[in-house]
Amino acid sequence: MTASGSPARTTASGATRRRRPGPGWVPREHGAWAMLVVPVVVGAVVSGVTWRHGLLLGVWLLAYLAFQACALWLKASRRPRWWPPVRAYGLSALWPGLVLVAQAPALLRWAPVFGGLLAVSLLCAHRRADRSWLNDAVTVGAAMLMTVVAAGLGTHGTPHARGPVLDTWVPPGAGDPAAWAATAALAGYFLGTVPYVKTLLRERGDRRVLAVSIGYHAAVLVAALVVTVAAPQAGTVALAVVAAGLLVRAVVVPRRRPWPSAKAIGLGEVAATVVVTAAVLLAVA
């Protein structure tokens, strides 16, 4: 054991090093955390923050860890050494998830939607296509829908419906126009990070991917300008300005030499996420 009490082992040279966690315990997609947290926070602000949002965020993050572990387990042909994190994270998410459903049974109406998205993503993992455009779009879409889910749990939402079927089939939050507007704005940004990051890492130098990234961001800017003309206010103007900045970034950064480091890319994404979140909250306020 090390001085801190963590397990260690001795190498052939006699040096002691800390034992690394087994496979599947630590997600490698560090940039996903902002994509997971921001929609829940925005949805909570849109509808009025309650204690249920803290529980929802905890369950959502644990479910993500279980999903990531399960995807890696499937990708590894279901080898036994990849199973422990699936079991641990799954059980960890189960009990608070049951508490959340007990407090807001209408959440079960979202089960078919998220179940379908989960099935597609796990199928991609099983086929080792977890880096595909389809899987990226599905995972981003699922994360963005949490904006509407969180809105349904707020002080202006409908979390206490008598059951998932008796009142209506409409899931909580799905009838809130402001929640959908925030979802669309966030989705516009986070979906754009898929081709943008590919132009800097795995598809670096590929002109087709660069064209897709630039074209997508140009389309988002056009949509933002249309919304600004239709509803001119500080929030929509801010979204248009941010969209223009993201388009400039998509054009300029992939052409820079030397290539930006992974750390620089990550810091840039953090800064962009903060700016986009602020603009979205201003727009739906």
Give me the tens of pLDDT residue by residue for the chain, a chain 285 residues long.
Answer: 444 444 455 545 444 455 666 677 887 776 688 899 999 999 999 999 999 999 999 999 999 999 999 999 999 888 989 899 999 999 999 999 999 999 999 999 999 999 999 999 999 998 988 889 999 999 999 999 999 999 999 876 655 544 444 456 788 889 899 999 999 999 999 999 999 999 998 888 899 999 999 999 999 999 999 999 998 999 999 999 999 999 999 999 998 888 888 888 888 898 999 999 999 999 987
Taking the CA of residue 116 as centre, how many other CA atoms within 13 Å lie in the half-sphere pointing to its CB?
6
The neighbour count for residue 238, using CB atoms within 10 Å, is 20
Q: Is the pTM of this model over 0.85?
A: yes
- Chain segment 216-271, per-residue pLDDT in tens: 999 999 999 999 999 899 999 999 999 999 999 999 999 888 888 888 888 889 89
Residue for token pair 């969209």: 243
- Chain segment 192-202, per-residue pLDDT in tens: 999 999 999 88
